[in-house]
Structure formats: C-alpha cells, structure tokens
C-alpha cells in the first residue's frame, strides 16, 4: 500500500519568513495530493490540493509543488503570520481510491 | 455548508465499558471514515464505509467495530474500552475521490 513520509515534524519560523513542508510517497499510481490544516482544538480542513497532471498550484500565500519523478510534493507558505500556526497534514490518494494515506503531520509555529 | 457532527466532544469512561461514538453528515456523502489522532502518529484510519451497511477495516481496527445503518450516520463502537484507547477520534465524510470533511472530534479518556 501507499506510504507517505512527512518532514519536518516541527517547524518554527519568525513572522514574515517562509515555511516549507515536504512529503514523499511510495505508490507511483497516486494522483491526488491534498493538504489539510488543523488549528489547535479544531478540525482538519483542506487548504490546497494538487493533481498529478500539474506541477504547481498557488492560492494567495500558499503553494504546492509536485515532482512525480521523485515522488515528492511540498507545501510552501510565504510571509507567514501567527494565524498560520497549526498542524499541517499531507496526504496521497491513488487513482480509483477514495482513502487518503496521511503523513504524520508538521506542527508549524510562527513567532510574532 | 457541509456539516459533520460528532455526538460527544469529551467522554470519560471506565475500563471495560462499551463506548459508542456517533457521527452524522448532512451532505449525502457516500464515504465515511473513523480516524484516531495521537501526538506524533498523525491520523490513523480505523474503519471506513463506502455505502450503507458496507464497512472495511483500516490500519488499526483491533478493538473497534462500526455500524452504518443509514447513509448519514456512522458509529464507532468500543466493545470493551481499554486505557490504550484513550485518544482523539475524528469522523470524516467525502464523495468519491473527494475532499474529506471532518467532524470536531471526540476526545475519549478511559480510566
């Protein structure tokens, strides 16, 4: 089955800096890669996703890149703000599957 | 607005008790999931269901069972709670190959 590795487990940055979280996956058939954000005490929510037919997707200060050859994808947050502090989960799904395999999560702390 | 509602936010139970965690979604989603969330271990899938009365084991089904008698409702059952089942339990629903919508979570403490 699919295996998703996520790094780092914790990331501490100063407000205004950029943050990058990286995930690798094992199943070359995976074709959908969502990212979820979970603020303290709240439910995880989808913030951005990418499908395997594109290499990059942006939404304001967040972007996701995908390298299918190397089987890794990354979340980039620019100009970080304290409200970006949360746990971020990456996931991968294979074509025809509706069950995401999650990474273990990255705790991002943005210091004012 | 999609809503996934979990019946209890916080529960305290004793070892050996039977525990029911209920989840209801209002978006007519086919798929429903139960995850367990523990620090450093991420989201681990316990069971999922792709249709009424259909269920499949996830990665950590031992000690758990589920029930899906109606499309909108998915219940997680701990037949005999143990202390190692103290955790946060998250329910989620989705359409086929779609975004997961999570509930607020149920924090279970087993004494």
Read off the pLDDT of residues B47-78 as tens digits, 9 standing for 90 and up. Answer: 999 999 899 999 999 999 999 999 999 999 99
Answer for the pair B5, B71: CB distance below 8 angstroms, yes or no. no
Q: What is the mean pLDDT of chain A?
A: 94
Any B CB within 8 A of A89 CB? yes
- What b/e string do you get for B55-91 counting C-beta neighbours within 10 Å, with b at 16 or more? beebeeeeebebbbeebbbbbbebeebeeebebebbb
d(CA B93, CA B101): 5
**Is the pLDDT reported for residue A97 higher than 90?**
no
Picking from A9, A89, A98, the nearest residue to B96 by CB comes out as A98
Contact B97 A93 (CB under 8 A): yes
Chain B contact set for A48 (CB, 8 A): none
Any B CB within 8 A of A2 CB? no
Picking from A32, A43, A44, the nearest residue to B97 by CB comes out as A32
Segment A29-47 mean pLDDT:
95
Looking at residue B55, its pLDDT comes to 94
Looking at residue A10, its pLDDT comes to 97
Residue with more model confidence, A1 or B66: B66
Contact A99 B48 (CB under 8 A): yes
**Is the pLDDT reported for residue A31 higher than 70?**
yes
Nearest Cα of chain B lies from the Cα of A14 at a distance, in angstroms, of 23
Q: What is the mean pLDDT of chain B?
A: 94
d(CA B101, CA B83): 28
**Is the pLDDT reported for residue B97 higher than 80?**
no
Any B CB within 8 A of A104 CB? yes
Picking from B50, B58, B102, the nearest residue to A44 by CB comes out as B102
Using pLDDT thresholds of 50, 70 and 90, give the confidence band for residue B106.
Answer: very high
**Is the pLDDT reported for residue A96 higher than 80?**
no
Q: What are phi and psi of B5, to 5 degrees?
A: -115, 125
Q: Write a three-state SS string for B20-80.
A: EEEEEECCCCCEEEEEEEECCCEEEEEEEEEECCEEEECCCCCCCEEEEEECCEEEEEECC
Contact B41 A104 (CB under 8 A): yes
The nearest alpha carbon in chain B to A39 belongs to B104
Read off the pLDDT of residues B10-23 as tens digits, 9 standing for 90 and up. Answer: 999 999 999 999 99
Contact B100 A9 (CB under 8 A): no
| Rounded percentage of chain B residues whose pLDDT exceeds 70 | 97
Picking from B42, B90, B105, the nearest residue to A103 by CB comes out as B42
Looking at residue B95, its pLDDT comes to 85
Segment A44-64 mean pLDDT:
93
Any B CB within 8 A of A32 CB? yes
């Amino acid at each position: 089955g699919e295996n998703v590795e996520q790094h780092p487990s914790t990331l501490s940055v100063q407000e205004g800096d950029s943050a990058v979280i990286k995930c690798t996956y094992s199943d070359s058939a995976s074709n959908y890669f969502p990212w979820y954000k979970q603020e303290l005490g709240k439910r995880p929510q989808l913030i951005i996703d990418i499908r395997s037919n594109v290499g990059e997707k942006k939404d304001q200060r967040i972007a996701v890149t995908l390298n299918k050859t190397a089987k890794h994808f990354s979340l980039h947050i620019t100009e970080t703000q304290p409200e970006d502090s949360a746990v971020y989960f990456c996931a991968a799904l294979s074509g025809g599957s509706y069950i995401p395999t999650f990474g273990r999560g990255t705790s991002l702390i943005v210091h004012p | 607005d999609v809503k996934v509602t979990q019946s209890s936010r916080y529960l305290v139970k004793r070892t050996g008790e039977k525990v029911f965690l209920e989840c209801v979604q209002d978006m007519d989603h086919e798929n429903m999931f139960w995850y367990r969330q523990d620090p450093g271990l991420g989201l681990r899938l316990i069971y999922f269901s792709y249709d009424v009365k259909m269920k499949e084991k996830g990665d950590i089904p031992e000690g758990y069972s589920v029930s899906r008698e109606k499309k909108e409702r998915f219940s997680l059952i701990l037949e005999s709670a143990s202390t190692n089942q103290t955790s946060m339990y998250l329910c989620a629903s989705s359409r086929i190959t779609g975004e997961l919508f999570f509930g607020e979570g149920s924090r279970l403490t087993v004494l």
